[in-house]
Structure 1
Amino acid sequence: MSVCRNMHSLLSSCGRATSLSTRIANCQGSKFLQQTTRWSALRILQTCTSKRSVFNTTISFCQKQEDSSSKHGHSVSEEQPQQSEKHQACHKLRSWSFNVDSFGKIVIQTQFNAIVKPVSPLEYPAADKAFITLTMKSKEKDDSLFETVTNSLQANAGYEDEQLFVAVHFLENIVDELKKRDASVTWLAEVPISFNADIQTSDHGTILLENLENQRCVIKSEHGNCHINKIKSGDVKITSLSGNIICKKVLQGNAEITTHGAGSITTGRLQGQTFLLSSEAGDINCNDVYTVKAGIKTTSGHIEFANVHGECDIETDEGNVDVGSLDGSLNAVTNTGNISTYLVRHKEVNISSQNGDISLKVPSDVKTGVYLEASTVSVSKELHTQSVEENHSSDRVVYSGAWGNEANNQLKAVTKQGGITVAVQSWFDSLKLTK
């Protein structure tokens, strides 16, 4: 009974869960609610309130869902703005709803922002509904800009041959006015979770794609950032001319991620057979990578991985390379940058630098063949060496042999101008836990 009363009071505050709250209040003595656990109650509350939540990204968008009772293809306009916590007026310019197949494709080509997320599986379990909303957000206190935009707006959305598409046109002076007043226009598409996505934005239009489970995602932007959150797809391709690419939580599937200029790449967990990541001047930072083979390349940016599981090829000209822990094979090449890694369980490791230093950490019981060549070589005395030779010339040190018995793995590190250091580190120490 206490769980029921708590659910009733909390759900009543959720605008879209009013009917659910009423039903719960009317059946407080039912066996269903008596058997409902506190965890289940919180899950239900979390689901219904997520409709009104703000996306956990660096962008804040307008997200008011179109009423599900709208007719097929019906378009309406919203004239009363909603005020956000930052005192920004959010206007609904147009909205559409469609009856769709569960498997289809959403196509958006726009110079404005674009958001794609799934419709609620609780409200639409058959996954046969899609909603398109065009919104405008501005800091203007009056409605003059909204009225101007509405009068010049030519927008449309349609569904044909299992493909959902949108189109919008403003007069050029209206686009300039939006930029001048720091106003933004956003397409919000809510589609079945299995819909493929083909999203392209021009100018500084940003993209947010989240919680889809489909076969293919193609994301392209010019100068706007691309935000990807919890995507499971067979094939993902993300490209930006100069924007940042941010993948939060999990990106599951084969992926090719490319940005140019000063654009950077930041990811959570990458999980798939193949990954290709490349940038020019921007950094590449990844948390966990579980893959068969990954290729990482940047011209002058830094490359940093927390954990790599699988085979990884890394190449950079001027940037540093830092692999927090490696369970697999690594081929890392840099010109002037430094390279550091912790070899938890390695197979084949080849590390090369022209002018940078190489820092290696290994477990105390590591078993591997080893070849180190640099101007200076420093190896921890904690390692168990077998048939190790160390040859010195005028400016070179060659350290070769094996660590441990039955060394089937190989480690090769060479730097022409820098030095090599090898230290012992336990797996627990690699976690970098602080008191």
Structure 2
Amino acid sequence: MGILSTEGLRKTSTRQKQIVQENSFRLKTHGKLDVDLFCNVEIHPPNPFEEMERSDGENNTFVELSSTNIETTELKNLNFVSEANHNNDELYLTSSTDDTELCENVHCTIETPLKFDISVKVRGSCSISNTEGGTLNVKSFLDDTPLTLHNIKSGDIDVMTAGDVVSSKLLQGNASLQTQGMGCITGDRLQGQRFKVTSDAGNINIKTLYGTSSQFYSKQGSITIGNCHGDCDCYLKNGNLKIDSLDGSLTADVVSGNVEVQVTRHRNIDIQVLGKGDITLKLPEDIVSNVGISGSDVHIDKSLNYTPMNPAFPNTSLSEYIGVIGKSDGQTDNFITIRSKSGAINIEKQDWFSSLNLGKLEH
């Protein structure tokens, strides 16, 4: 057990980093890190070369507590405690200090084994990078501090925060990402079987999504996905939905907002706008699909070779298009269903350059 205190404080200028305490542990390569702190937290594996220099290879976990502008007398009130269990496969970091003003200037850097499970509760900023544990659970309680994830591989990922979530490079695993208030969610590449991404009033922006089954929810924000692979469900109350390249199936329910989707390949597409908002669907030249379109203002590009069928229940107030788009010698199992009572529905053919998707290369 180690108590992080002011002993061994390295005196530097007020603006330079002051090391409050450094502790090291010899833990098993697989285990769990449990953090419950009021300060800013950074977690990543140790640099193997620095690890050898610091401990001759005996220790593999390091905890550093530092500050940039706290007086030495104040540091005595931090009361940070680090403790490893008797099996050396779990490390706990806690604090009995709830002084938010004091802790916002304190940083805790934790270098932990690569494949550790991680559980974090934090009242400051949180940064986690280059981990490959079985589980990652993060709860951040402040709305003005970001939560950043960089190059994460895990079996199950559960993130809940009042601020922004920023995922850079790769986020691999079955993940639930949730932010409250005005918090936004951005990601470079999400890859896994299941994703659930939720925001209140903030926007969601994902560059590349590879998911067997993905769900996106936003009450007052917009959702933008660059390259979308797999089955995806999107639910928006007031906001726009844009997908630059869809390869899979899509269900989109929008109360008020515009929808713009460019299709590369598809199985089933079902888009509905209940209130105000236009729908634009851009289809590849070689598409073959059953269609059912219902709206007050419908436009279908003539070059898409739409072949109508007689609707079973004609609607006098809305234009209905039930038939097949594309040239086919036989039947197709692909379906496109689009409904909008008040907005325009535009079914367009992609131009050749846009279909190459050169401007949106995957990361």
TM-score (norm 2): 0.88
Residue 195 of structure 1 pairs with residue 122 of structure 2:
no
- 8 Å CA contact 2:20–2:66 kept in 1: the answer is yes
Tell me the residue number matched to 1:246: 166
Q: Distance in 2 between matches of 1:427 and 1:324?
A: 15
Specify every segment of 5 or more residues in structure 1 that has no aligned partner in the other structure, as ranges: 1-71, 139-144
CA offsets, 1:186-206, max 9 Å, x none?
11100111111101113xx11
Residue 312 of structure 1 pairs with residue 203 of structure 2:
no
Paired AA for residue 63 in structure 2:
I
Q: Distance in 1 between matches of 2:37 and 2:179?
A: 19
1:314 positional shift: 0.6
Paired AA for residue 338 in structure 2:
A
Question: Which has the bigger relative contact order, CA under 8 A and spacing at least 6?
Answer: 2
Matches within 5 A, 1:12-23: none
Q: Distance in 2 between matches of 1:410 and 1:127?
A: 61
Paired AA for residue 132 in structure 1:
V
Matches within 5 A, 1:397-416: 397-404=319-326, 405=328, 406=330, 407-416=332-341
Tell me the residue number matched to 2:347: 422
Secondary structure of the residue aligned to 2:75 is: helix
Tell me the residue number matched to 2:278: 357
Secondary structure of the residue aligned to 2:187 is: strand
CA offsets, 1:361-391, max 9 Å, x none?
0011110001111111111121123345699
Taking structure 1 as reference, are residues 414 and 236 closer, same or farther at Cα in structure 2, changes over 3 Å only? Answer: same
Secondary structure of the residue aligned to 2:73 is: helix
Q: Distance in 1 between matches of 2:110 and 2:253?
A: 42
Q: Distance in 1 between matches of 2:154 and 2:67?
A: 30
Tell me the residue number matched to 2:150: 229
Residue 217 of structure 1 pairs with residue 136 of structure 2:
yes
Tell me the residue number matched to 1:133: 64
- 8 Å CA contact 2:308–2:321 kept in 1: the answer is no
Paired AA for residue 335 in structure 2:
Q
Taking structure 1 as reference, are residues 159 and 321 closer, same or farther at Cα in structure 2, changes over 3 Å only? Answer: same
Does 282-291 or 385-394 show the bigger shift? Answer: 385-394
1:150 positional shift: 2.6
1:152 positional shift: 2.8
Taking structure 1 as reference, are residues 432 and 336 closer, same or farther at Cα in structure 2, changes over 3 Å only? Answer: farther
Q: Distance in 1 between matches of 2:111 and 2:76?
A: 26
1:259 positional shift: 1.1
Taking structure 1 as reference, are residues 122 and 389 closer, same or farther at Cα in structure 2, changes over 3 Å only? Answer: farther
Tell me the residue number matched to 1:22: none
CA offsets, 1:108-137, max 9 Å, x none?
101111110001234558795100011112
Q: Distance in 1 between matches of 2:154 and 2:35?
A: 18
- 8 Å CA contact 1:226–1:244 kept in 2: the answer is yes
Secondary structure of the residue aligned to 2:72 is: helix
1:288 positional shift: 0.6
**For this pair of structures, how many residues does the alignment match?**
344
Q: Distance in 1 between matches of 2:3 and 2:296?
A: 73
Residue 285 of structure 1 pairs with residue 209 of structure 2:
no
Paired AA for residue 385 in structure 1:
Y
Tell me the residue number matched to 1:89: 16
